Chain A
Amino acid sequence: METKSNEWEATTRKNVRHLAYWTGAWVLTVALASFGPKFLWDYNSSTSIVAILVSTLVGVGMILMNRKYTNGLDELHRKVTMEAMAIALGVGVVGGLSYSLLDVSNVIPFDAEVGPLIGLIGITYFIAFIVGSIRYK
């Protein structure tokens, strides 16, 4: 049989690499927008607005790259990814609202911050992706 390379794998590898670059850039810009006001520009509002705007724009780039990555996957991997995203989104919405209600009703003695919610969504996606991958192995 004629030796052919799997173009799908090469495309996916390239998309993963680009998604990692966008994600890394977004994390850096978020870190800059978060810690910059205190450590770099002494709460100058104009600089903070620019930093947040840059972070948002890079975030939009990351979202578009994630869409390209998902669309570039082969159909089984796309199904596993979409199922994991659906579960993560559901857990995020339900968990986020419950967490917020705990705060509003003063059940928890601290403010409901967004950090734990992001962590919950990330961990849920990771677990759902692993479980999905094993299911179709």
Chain B
Amino acid sequence: MKRIMPSQHKRAKPFQRSKQMKKGNKLISVLVLAGMMLSAVSAMAGEIRIGITMRMVSENGQKYGQMMMDEIDLINKGGGINGNQIVATLMNDECKSDKGVANANKMIFQKKVHLVVGSSCSSVTLPIVDVTAKAEVPQIVPHSTNSKITQKGSAWVFRVPVSGRFYGGVNAKYTGENIGTRIAYICAADAASQGDCEKMQGQMKSQFGASPVYVAQVQEKEVDFRTHMQKIKTANVDGVMIAALAETMARALVQSYEAGIGPEVRRIGSSSASNSPVPAIAGDAAKGVFFTAAYSHSDKRPIARLFNEMVRKRYGIHAPDHDFSQAYDLIRIVEIALENADLELTSSSLKQDRIAIRDAIAGVRNYQGLASGPISFCSDPAPVCRDGNRTAVLIAYTKGGEKYELEVLARVTMPMDFGL
């Protein structure tokens, strides 16, 4: 029997298929190339381009980003800035420095933005400062508190939130004067909490000569603090500072009570204590916890009331924390700066426009918005000029749970060069 050769079956097909595939592939490559070309050409004139990179995949992360985009939308609907529309891109950096740098590069070089807004995590903002400084693009920071961000000497970065160096001083003063100087510390491994821990310990030392009774370094997403709580219980302290991101802090608070550390030992939070997951998850354990932040929703000013109302209606948040207020203030400051800047907005004026925007932001003086004190920038590439916001509020939780309540204990405006 004759063996059936493959060629007898498949003779015609491969050539036909390859011709079709050739055509198809040609089409695909043309489309891809066209797409890439298009993205280059999309750097059109007459629009102000802003790139926002933030940690979107987190509690409320999306909402902050969404709020900024919504506010920009409203500005556009109201006629834009001097007639020019703002085109904003929102990108997620997952709180990872390499993704953040990639986003910054994409925004600066591909989308050719005039302004970079970023980021929420200090570990992402730190490298982006170098990127924007080298590329000569103004950058305005929405949430990061690590003090090193403005200490790098970049002339292009501006910080809206209160820098960690201010928080430590306020916290320490209140603690030392009202609670005591025997403090235990639980410091989580994220950049912001580490910064807060260091600053607090430093300030307790310089203001009261007090050394920490116990310091524990824990993982960023630690779930089990019982060993630490046990040791702290036996160490007889006046207060426990828990510096961690929101849900980690909440867990630690709950476990501190479960371990039997009574309410007479005050719990002190880092700045992320103002984020809503803390009272929501900690429930009753959040009562009495105090911390420094930039804004409290129990602020009685009309502007704060209106803001709370707006956030509640639009995003379903019961009480906005200072990350919301700072994002909002950022957009307002950017709006003011853009209106004052002398922009040409042609494809050849990119460099000058960026410089103009930088100088315009540096010219913002005594902006009074949701922040608890005035925000002023100046043009020196030093922290005194770049950390515009130096008013901290001391806040304590009076009630925990989903419908939490806070009260403002004190409002302090620190000297510009504090903690340097």
* Chains A and B form a bound pair: no
Which positions in A face B, CB cutoff 8 Å? none
